[in-house]
Structure formats: C-alpha cells, structure tokens
A and B are shown apart, each in its own frame.
Chain A
Amino acid sequence: MGTLTNIYRSSVGKKFVVALTGLFLCTFLVEHLAGNFLLFVNDGGASFNEYSETLSHNVIIRTIEIVLFLAFFFHILTATTLWWRNRKARPDSYAQNQKSANSTLASRISFLTGSIVFIFLVIHLRTFFVPSRFFPSENPSMYTLVVFAFSNGWYCLFYLVALVLLGYHLRHGFQSAFQTFGIRGKNYQSLIEWIGVIFWLLIPLGFATMPIYFFWTTHFGG
C-alpha cells in the first residue's frame, strides 16, 4: 500500500492513474455502445428495456458499476490535480507562442474537452441513469426516456457536440495512455494508432447515430 501511495504522490504515478482509468473507461464505452444498439431492434424497445433492467439488477454489473464510478472519480480527480500543478509550472505566459507549430490541438485541449465531457456526463446521468435507477416507479421505461430525450433538438445538439469533444479527448487520450505506460515502439505504434481510430472516431459516431435516428423518426418519419 505504501508503494502505491508513493507512486500516486509522484507526477508520473498520477499519469499512470489517469492512463489506467482512462483505458478502463474506454472499455466501458465499448460495452455501453454495444448495449445501446439494442435501441435499434424493431420491437418497440422491449429488448433495450430488458437489457436496461438486467443492468439495474445484476449483482456482477452492480459491482462493476462501483469500479466504474471509482474509475471516473480517480480519472477526473487526478487529471484535475495534474492540470492545476501544470498551470502553476508556468506562472508567466509567453507574449507570442506558436503552439500549433509543435503540437496538435487535441493534445493541448485535453483538459478542456474532458471538462465539457464531464458536464455532459452529469446531464446524461440526470436524464437516464438517475430516473431509472433511483425512481423507477415514477418514470417510464428506459426506451421511452430515450425517445423523449432525443425528441428535443437542443438536447440532441448538445449530445452531438459532446460526442465530437469526446472524440477529440480520445484522439489524444487513447494513444497517450500507451505512451504513459511506456508502450511505444516502431513495430506496434501504428497498431495503437489504428485501434485508437475505433475509440476516437467509430465509437463517437456509433453513439451519434442514436440522437440522429430518434430525432429524425420523431419529427420526420416513423
């Protein structure tokens, strides 16, 4: 335990925590997206509601949920601590600084994209998780909640903007986590980049299909 505390105290140790929790959260995104695709099963939401019910009551899922919350907590807390320390490392800024000449935008605004994704997360939990988990009797099924939420154009727009920012966050974050763990080499660097595409491009695109589909079917079709 003492060893782990010492590691966490160091700046590199904190980076390990951000990287490890970040990669764990990436695996959660895969599961979340896969489950959400049940929304598209043409049975009036029966499959999706059943899946949602299972998630709410399964003991294993509930246990993993605690790990997930801890991962979010430590990812956000540790990244914020690092960000705060890093800000203090340069009290006087440059009069002229051509940052775009030496680094990508995604890598420089990771904290900003993460912060907005965090705001999205809070609203997202308030819309779907809180009503279904804590007040199930007072609320309609999860499928109905989804259809209702995505019938609102502003909510859909916010959702899409948040997904673009999530993509930006992962554009930097995914490969960055491997670098932090020292996994970098000529032979597998391109593999990491390609797997990264799944996370920063395909997964946000996958999530984006849902608000677009439900907004479209509510207002223009169905």
Chain B
Amino acid sequence: MNFTLKAWRQKDKNSEGQFATYTATNITPDMSFLEMLDAVNHDLVEKNQEPIAFDHDCREGICGSCGMFIKGRAHGPQKGGAACQLHMRSFVDGDLITVEPFRAKAFPVIKDLIVDRTAFDRIMQAGGFVSVNTGGVPDANAIPVPKTIADEAFNAAACIGCGACVAACKNASATLFVAAKVSQLALLPQGQAERQQRVEAMLAQMDKEGFGSCSNTYACEAECPKEISVTNIARMNREYLKAALG
C-alpha cells in the first residue's frame, strides 16, 4: 500500500509549525500506524532529513503515549483503540492521511506530533490519589467490594490518560479524564477519606490548566481508546454537587 502523508512539523514549543507532505511506500496492511511512521522516518533518515517526532512506548494500547490526530479523529478512524493499535488496512490504498498533534491550550506542542500532557499529571497531583499508611500487605478480600461496584471502578480505571478526550472535545475539555479518575476512587472504599476534596481540587486544577468545560457532546466517549463511559461524568457532577454543598 502507498499513502500520501500530510504531517505537522514543528521544531519546538516556541516555533511556528506547518504541514509537510511525504509519501509512504511499500506499506503492508498489517502494519500499525506507528510502524508506517517508522518506515517514513527510516526513509527520511536515509535522506539525511529530520524524522517526524511522535510519542510512543508500549505499542499495545496500554501506556497512552501515542496520542495524535489522524484523518480528523483522535487515534484515527477506529473504535476503542490507540494509534498504535490502528492498522493500515483501516485506510484505502493511495489515501491522503493528515496527521497532526492533539490541539489544546493545555497541551502545548513540544515537537511535531508530541504534545506536553503534564497538565494531566498536575490534575492527578491535585487529588487523584489515596493517602494510605504503608505497612504490611493487607489480606485479600479484607475490604469487601461488591462485584458490580468493582466492575464500575475497573471500567473507570481503564483510563490510560492519553488525552484523546481532550483532543476530540470541541472545548478541549479534560472532563472525561477527571471523571474517570474521580469515579474510580469514589467507588472504592479506599477513596472515601479524600472523596470530597478530591473532586473539587481536580476540577479546580482542570480549570486552572486552561481546559474547557463539558458541553455534553459525548465526543470523548466515542473517541476514547478505552471506551470510558460518560456515565462517569454524571457521577463526577454528582460528587461535585455533594462536595460543594456539603
């Protein structure tokens, strides 16, 4: 398969970026999108040109590193998968593929397709944790958690913090990310101690970072590689209302 790649090139945070066009040749349908980028970069290096910089790590949809906007979609045209899980068979031979970084004020572009997502880390530092005394490992099942609740918490915990929700949202809002973290900890017994201040602190940090607010378009749920439900946003809103009035 052959493709024309229109990729965003930006030297660094302070430089202006622009699109550059490349050709990706001899691509097999079973290659992942990142492997296709590897092949393009291989050609660029051979020609003594700067390769396209992009984030990646595990390449199996778990680490949340490889966020990029492919053909107008966060992580590309697939449901429930990260860019590393996107295969080239999802495209038609000869396609023009536009690839650009996630765009949000809170996610400044560092280089080419790489954005700075440390805003998410600061939201987590604001309240996405539980404070527990260290010590011996507690016995399994010492704290009973009903199966349905555990499942709900686990679904929320599946969030890999890739930022696709921010990228897809018309307001560049991090609401689904915050809602997943708040939900996960609000559902479990370990999260109860800091339950009230957590939701307020994380949402305040979200606002402070320059993310937008939720317009309930649910684009985040549709584009989330882990298919995190917007039910978590409803739960977070309840948590916030209880915390703020309580």
Cβ contacts under 8 Å, A82 to chain B: 213
Cβ contacts under 8 Å, B66 to chain A: none
- A152 on the B face (CB < 8 A): no
**Which residue of A94, A97, A102, A104 has the most chain B CB atoms within 10 A of its CB atom?**
A102
Count A interface residues, CB 8 Å.
42
Binds B, one of A6-14, A31-39, A116-124, A214-222: A6-14
- A176 on the B face (CB < 8 A): yes
B72 and A97 contacting across the interface, CB-CB below 8 Å: yes
B234 and A89 contacting across the interface, CB-CB below 8 Å: no
B98, B213, B214, B230: the one contacting A95 at CB < 8 Å is B98
A86 and B171 contacting across the interface, CB-CB below 8 Å: yes
A98 and B171 contacting across the interface, CB-CB below 8 Å: no
A89 and B105 contacting across the interface, CB-CB below 8 Å: yes
Residue of A nearest to B206 (CB): A11
CA distance A11 to B205 in the complex (A): 11
CA distance A82 to B241 in the complex (A): 18
CA distance A175 to B234 in the complex (A): 12
Q: Given A89-B212, A94-B103, A95-B19, are A103 and B222 also a contact pair (CB < 8 Å)?
A: yes
B213 and A15 contacting across the interface, CB-CB below 8 Å: yes
A101 and B222 contacting across the interface, CB-CB below 8 Å: yes
Interface of A is mostly: helix
B240 and A12 contacting across the interface, CB-CB below 8 Å: yes
Q: Given A89-B210, A96-B98, A183-B234, are A107 and B105 also a contact pair (CB < 8 Å)?
A: no
Rounded to whole Å, the gap between the CB of A92 and the closest CB of chain B is 5
Rounded to whole Å, the gap between the CB of B109 and the closest CB of chain A is 8
Q: CB within 8 Å of B: which of A68-108?
A: 82, 85-86, 88-99, 101-104, 107-108
Rounded to whole Å, the gap between the CB of B120 and the closest CB of chain A is 15
Q: CB within 8 Å of B: which of A5-44?
A: 6-7, 10-16
In the complex, which range does the number of interface residues on chain B fall in?
A: 35 or more
A12 and B213 contacting across the interface, CB-CB below 8 Å: yes
- B245 on the A face (CB < 8 A): yes
- B192 on the A face (CB < 8 A): no
B207 and A10 contacting across the interface, CB-CB below 8 Å: yes
- A172 on the B face (CB < 8 A): yes
- B235 on the A face (CB < 8 A): yes
Rounded to whole Å, the gap between the CB of A177 and the closest CB of chain B is 9
CA distance A91 to B106 in the complex (A): 10
Taking beta carbons and an 8 Å cutoff, which residues of A are in contact with B? Answer: 3, 6-7, 10-16, 82, 85-86, 88-99, 101-104, 107-108, 110, 172, 175-176, 179-185
10 A-B pairs with C-beta separation under 8 A:
A10-B203, A14-B213, A85-B212, A89-B173, A90-B212, A98-B71, A102-B223, A103-B217, A103-B218, A180-B214
Q: A85-B213, A182-B237 are in contact. List 12 more A-B contacts (CB 8 A).
A: A10-B204, A86-B212, A90-B170, A90-B172, A97-B72, A99-B170, A101-B77, A102-B168, A108-B215, A181-B237, A181-B238, A182-B241
